[in-house]
Structure 1
Amino acid sequence: MWVVKIGGSLSHDPLLREWLTQLWELGGGRVVIVPGGGDFADKVRQYQSEWCFDDLAAHNMCLLAMTQYAILMQGLRPELVLAANEERIRRALRDGHVAVWVPTGLMRDAPDEMTNWDTTSDSLAAWLSTTLNAERLIVVKSCEVEAGAPLAALTQDGVLDTRFVDHVTDANYVVELLNRRDVALMRDRLLHVPAA
């Protein structure tokens, strides 16, 4: 199973449809898409700055931002299956579909280590990869990503959130960052890596 996190920065990019189409056509039964927060989450930052509510509320709102992006993805490619928990994700994959994670199960009533701006959808994708015992986590970004760049350097440059490295340091899965233009590379990976 692969987890593919598609950054919210692609939410206005014409390539988003191509990513979703390739994942749907070639990833059935083995791909879970994690949506970023994009400008849905940017609005949360704006409202928090304006109204000064706590990070717990912001965390819950950002999970809903990711959910909106998930619904947008399914709107573009209706064959994708929205799945809010591990059981539904695994059922979608067993049925040969591609799942899109709806992370509302991570909403919190009290603050914890996830309820802060150091933990974004990047870290949540890593958390889900560990939870699902994934083979591979691919993070798709709009910015240029140097092949083989150390994750710590990418964190320092703001490409990844500050908690991401903590989540993947002892991971049993491959972590790979791709640029938004790497659709053909993703297609090649899906065609040439056998399903588990």
Structure 2
Amino acid sequence: MWVVKIGGSLSHDPSLRLWLTELREVGGGRVVIVPGGGDFADRVRQYQSEWQFDDLAAHNMCLLAMTQYGLMMQGVLPDLVIASSEAKVRRALRDGRVAVWVPTALMRDTPDAMSNWDTTSDSLAAWLSTMLNAERLMVVKSCPIDPDEPLETFAQNGVVDRRFFDYVRDANYVVELIGKDNVELMRDRLLNEPVTQGFVARGGV
């Protein structure tokens, strides 16, 4: 099983449709897509700045932002299956489909380690990868990805969130950052590459 996190920065990018189409074509029964927050989450930041509500409310709103992006993905490609729980994810994969995970089950009544801006959809994708015992986590970004940069640098530069490295430090799955123009590399990985362990960064934008 693969978890593919598609950044919110692709929400207005023509490559989004290509990624979704290719994942459906070669990832049926294997792939779970995690949507980013995109400008849905950006609006949460704006409202929090205006109204000064706490991070718990912002966290729950950002989970709904990811859900909106996921629903948009399904709107673009109706064959995708919205899944809000592990059971629904696994059912979609058993049916040979591609699941889009929406994290509504992580909404909280009281603050916890996740309910802050240091933990975004990147870390949630890593959390899900661990929970599902995934083989690989592929994080698709629209910005350039330098394959020689250590993962910590991506966190320091805001390419992934601050908590991401903590979530994947001891991961038993492959972690790969990949540029949006490397859809063919993703396709090749799914079709041909044996499973290995570790961190890999791939550029392409």
The answer for the alignment partner of 2:16 in structure 1 is 16
Corresponding residue of 2:184 = 184
Letter in 1 for 2:2: W
CA distance in 2, matches of 1:194, 1:123: 25
Q: Gapped runs of 5+ residues in structure 2?
A: 196-205
| Partner SS state of residue 155, structure 2 | helix
Supply the AA of the counterpart residue of 2:157: D
Name the structure 2 match of 1:39.
Answer: 39
Distance 2:60 2:148 in 1: 33
Q: Which residue pairs with 1:151 in the alignment?
A: 151
AA matched with 1:38: G
Which stretches of structure 1, 4 residues or more, deviate above 3 A after TM superposition?
Answer: none
Distance, in Å, in 2 between the alignment partners of 1:192 and 1:39 is: 35
* CA-atom RMSD in angstroms: 1.0
After superposition, the Cα gap between the structure-2 partners of 1:94 and 1:194, relative to the gap in structure 1 and judged at 3 Å, is farther
Q: Give SS of 2:134's match.
A: coil
CA–CA distance in 2 between the matches of 1:14 and 1:118? 29
What is the identity, as a one-letter code, of the residue corresponding to 1:87?
A
Secondary structure of 2:109 counterpart: coil
The one-letter code of the counterpart of 1:117 is: W
TM-score in terms of structure 2 length? 0.93
Structure 1: segments with no counterpart, 5+ residues: none
The offset of 1:149, in angstroms, is 2.1
Rounded Cα–Cα distance in structure 2 between residues aligned with 1:147 and 1:182: 13
CA deviation profile, 1:2-21 (whole Å, cap 9, x unmatched):
00000000000000000000
Greater relative contact order (CA < 8 Å, ≥ 6 in sequence): 1
